[in-house]
Amino acid sequence: RGLDEQGLDLTLAIYPGRDQRMHEPCLRQVQPLAESLAAEIQTMPAKQRRTLILAGHSMGAQVAFETCLLLEQAGTSPAGLVLSACHAPHLSGRRLLSHLDDRRFIEQLVAIGGVSEALLANPDLLAVFMPLLRADFQATESYHRPLHADRRRLQTPTLLLHGSHDPEADQEEVGAWRQWLCGESRQQVMAGDHFYLTQRPRAFATQVLTFIEQSISPFHP
C-alpha cells in the first residue's frame, strides 16, 4: 500500500522459513540474510539494479544496511537506502527478548505491538510462528558493529525514519546511523510508534517519494 499506488514497483524480501521458502531453515544472524539478499539482487538486470532502493524497517534496516555494504563493495550500489525504526549498529537495543521463555516472550511482543490479536487467539498458528519470531529476535539482538575509526561507510543516499512515539528507537538512536554514512542523508520523524509503517503506509510512501525527488533523482536522471 502507498508505494505501489505511486507507480513504484514494490518487491518484498522473503527470508528463509517463510512463505515459499518455508522449507528452508531460519537464519539467526543478520549477515547471512544480507548475503542471500545481495546475491539475489546481483541477478537482476543492470538497469533495474541502478534504480533499486533498499528499504528496511526494524531488523530489516540492519539487513538492508549490510546488503547495501555488500552491493557497494561489489560495485553495484543501489540508488538509495531507507533505514526505519532501528538504532545504529554500534548501539544496543533497549529490549532483549530472545532469552525469555515463551510466555514472557509473547508478553513483551504484545507490549510493543508486535503480534496481532488474531495470532494470539490461535495457539496452533502461534506455535508455527514462534520459531520465526525467535529467529528474528536472535538475529537483531546479536547484530553489532563497533565504531572503529577505519569503519566502512556507505556512499549510497540514505533516508532515516523513526516514529515519534517509538519506545524502541528514538531520534538520536536512529540519527546515529549517520556515523556509518558518508553520502547524502536526511532524517524525518513519522507520527506513530514502532509500527508506524503499517499504521500509516501512505505517509511512509510520501517520505520515500520526496527522498527520491530531492536526494536521488538529481544524481540518477
The residues that are catalytic are: 58, 194
The terminus-to-terminus CA distance of the chain in angstroms comes to: 26
- In angstroms, the CA 28 to CA 25 distance is 9
- Return the C-alpha cell found at 144: 553489532
Sorted by sequence, the CB contacts under 8 Å of residue 178 that are 6+ apart come out as: 160, 185, 187
Helix axes 59-73, 123-142, angle to 10 degrees: 50
Burial of 83 (0-12, 13-18, 19+ CB in 10 A): buried
Rg (CA), the chain: 17
- Return the C-alpha cell found at 161: 525514519
Q: Categorise residue 19: left if φ over 0, alpha if ψ from -120 to 50, beta otherwise.
A: left
Beta bridge partners of 57: 84
